[in-house]
């Protein structure tokens, strides 16, 4: 039942909402006006996967919502400050999320010294389905971060579709966000990641 409610909420609260996430600062207008003014861009991977790249929220601080690490301890995105962070918000029941996870796992290995790559599951059943999926697909470089209470989604006013991936700079400010699945080993995606440098 909780799965059905979560799915209905995700469908009803599409990614085109323009409300600002709770607990996030407004972008500084002079500092980010060029970036925030960029139009959304549709990206298509070689496998036909499509995602929308948006700079609309550039400059906003990462939310402070807690989620669980691999040991079940609470962490927040602030725990990753100090180097760029790529946050992937996903669920095991989401087909595009599942499809992009192997290349996201490869990216985590490739970029481990330069950027933190984390995937936070929104599965209401916690770690069990995430661990099963990671074992099934041989994901080895991503930790099974979970958010069974959907605190991350709530911090974004439940306005994110899955998957959504957000790039933050080393100070915790949003650079861009992608809504939809992509192939993370694509050369164009690699160029986009350099925007956090």
Token duo for residue 43: 């990206």
**What pLDDT, on the 0 to 100 scale, is given for residue 34?**
54
**What pLDDT, on the 0 to 100 scale, is given for residue 37?**
60
**What pLDDT, on the 0 to 100 scale, is given for residue 182?**
93
Name the nearest CA neighbour of 178 among 167, 190, 191, 194: 167
**What pLDDT, on the 0 to 100 scale, is given for residue 15?**
35
pTM for this entry: 0.82
Sheet order of strands, 74-75 included: 41-44, 50-54, 174-180, 164-168, 85-90, 116-121, 145-146, 67-68, 74-75
CA distance 144 to 134: 8
Under 8 Å CB-to-CB from 88, ≥6 apart: which residues? 100, 104, 117, 118, 119, 120, 163, 164, 165
Token duo for residue 21: 């996430």
**What pLDDT, on the 0 to 100 scale, is given for residue 17?**
34
Token duo for residue 183: 């192939």
Under 8 Å CB-to-CB from 12, ≥6 apart: which residues? none
What does each of the 197 residues of the chain score in pLDDT, given as a tens digit?
Answer: 343 333 333 333 333 333 333 333 333 333 444 555 678 999 888 778 889 999 999 999 999 999 999 999 999 999 998 999 999 999 999 999 999 999 999 999 999 999 999 999 999 999 999 999 999 999 999 999 999 999 999 999 999 999 999 999 999 999 999 999 999 988 888 899 998 88
**What pLDDT, on the 0 to 100 scale, is given for residue 44?**
85
- Give DSSP secondary structure letters for 78-134: GGGTTS-EEEEEE-TT-HHHHHHHHHHHHHHHHTTTT-EEEEEE--TTTHHHHHHHH
Domains of the chain: 2-13+29-196 (3.40.30.10)
**What pLDDT, on the 0 to 100 scale, is given for residue 100?**
95
């Amino acid at each position: 039942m909780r799965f059905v409610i979560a799915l209905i909420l995700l469908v009803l609260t599409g990614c085109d909402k323009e409300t600002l996430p709770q607990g996030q600062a407004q972008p500084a207008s002079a500092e980010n006006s060029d970036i925030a003014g960029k139009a959304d861009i549709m990206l298509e991977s070689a496998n036909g996967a499509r995602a929308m790249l948006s700079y609309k929220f550039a400059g906003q601080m990462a939310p402070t919502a807690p989620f669980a690490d691999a040991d079940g301890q609470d962490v927040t995105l602030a725990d990753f400050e100090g180097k760029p962070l790529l946050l992937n918000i996903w669920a095991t029941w989401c087909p595009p999320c599942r499809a992009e996870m192997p290349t996201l796992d490869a990216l985590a290995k490739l970029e481990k010294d330069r950027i933190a790559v984390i995937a936070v599951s929104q599965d209401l059943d916690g770690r069990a389905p995430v661990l099963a999926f990671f074992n099934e697909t041989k994901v080895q470089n991503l930790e099974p971060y979970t958010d069974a209470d959907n605190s991350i989604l709530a911090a974004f006013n439940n306005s994110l579709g899955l998957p959504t991936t957000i790039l933050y700079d080393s100070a915790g400010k949003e650079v861009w966000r992608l809504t939809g699945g992509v192939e993370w080993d694509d050369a164009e995606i690699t160029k986009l990641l350099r925007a956090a440098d």
